Amino acid sequence: MQAVFAFTACISVIAVVLICLFLFGNGFPTMGKIGVGKFLFGTTWSPTQEQYGIFPMIVASIFVTAGAILIGVPIGVLCALFLAHYCPKRFYRPLKSAVELLAGIPSIVYGFFGLVVLVPLMQRLLGGSGKGMLTASIMLGIMILPTVINISESALRAVPQSYYEGSVALGADHERSVFSAVLPAARSGILAAVILGIGRAVGETMAVVMVAGNQALLPEKITDGIRTLTANIVLEMGYAADLHREALIACGVVLFVFILLINLCFSALKRRERG
């Protein structure tokens, strides 16, 4: 069994290495052809004119992800706190099932929900087409909820009961014990939930394509239409060829680097907490 486990671990490592070799082997030469500065900081994406500036899409991806985290993380953590320490037993199973059902809904269904419900709502409240950065942020905030809730709840339940009991014994009430003793002790697990939520938000494509407006321009307002890196790849890879196709693969390299940086930051924070 040790050999079996070692073999499966090696397969995982080899898969990651092959993905890195493919992306970097095709992406970096393309950046060299276009020019790293022009590619990363150019503001015009026009394959017909051989202009491949992805800066507006980098900004859009960052803004949408940040908006999703601002919306999804507080709601998700508070929901996890309710499930772990406040929810009556007769309501726990239906609510937990609903959260798990959210995790199983395909992203295209979320996109339809956003197109039918969120976009008309944004039109009535803010005017315009209703498709834009704010709508995409709300959509992604909803989509990361299952990840944040499930992992945060597991982290809260992993905190030893003695933390809560010791706080109560010192005279704190239930709310103060939960928020001042249990929640800080689960910080590492909640941070992991946030990091995974960021990864889900950065990599999401179909739902964003349907509600973001798909305009490869720098946004000036939260209601402006945007195009993320993932949406750009999906929209154009079907008919791209030659340098255009290579530029889209280079977009994938930028996304991959984003995820690596997020994971490195998470690892650094964990080491700092242990230290």
User: What does the pLDDT read at residue 196?
Assistant: 85
Tell how far CA 135 is from the center of its chain.
15
Provide the domain count of the chain.
1
Answer whether residue 32 is part of any domain: no
Closest to 132 in 3D by CA, of 153, 114, 158, 112: 114
Asked if residue 205 lies in contact with residue 234, where contact means CB atoms within 8 angstroms, the answer is yes
Answer whether residue 258 is part of any domain: yes
Please report, in tens digits, the pLDDT of each residue of the chain (275 residues total).
889 999 988 998 899 889 888 888 888 888 888 888 888 888 888 888 888 888 999 999 889 999 999 999 999 999 999 998 888 888 889 998 998 888 888 888 998 998 899 999 988 888 778 888 899 999 999 999 999 999 999 999 988 888 888 888 888 888 888 888 888 888 888 888 888 888 888 888 888 888 888 888 888 888 888 888 888 888 888 887 888 888 888 888 888 888 888 878 777 777 776 65
Q: Which residue range forms the structural domain that includes residue 244?
A: 54-274
Answer whether residue 75 is part of any domain: yes
What would the two tokens of residue 81 be? 């706190």
In the 3-class helix/strand/coil scheme, how is 139-169 assigned residue by residue?
A: HHHHHCHHHHHHHHHHHHHHCCHHHHHHHHH
Answer whether residue 6 is part of any domain: no
Q: What is the CATH number of the domain that holds 182?
A: 1.10.3720.10
Answer whether residue 35 is part of any domain: no
Cα first-last separation, the chain: 35
Distance, CA of 155 to CA of 149 (rounded, Å): 10
Taking the model in full, what pTM does it have?
0.85
Report the chain's C-alpha Rg in angstroms: 22
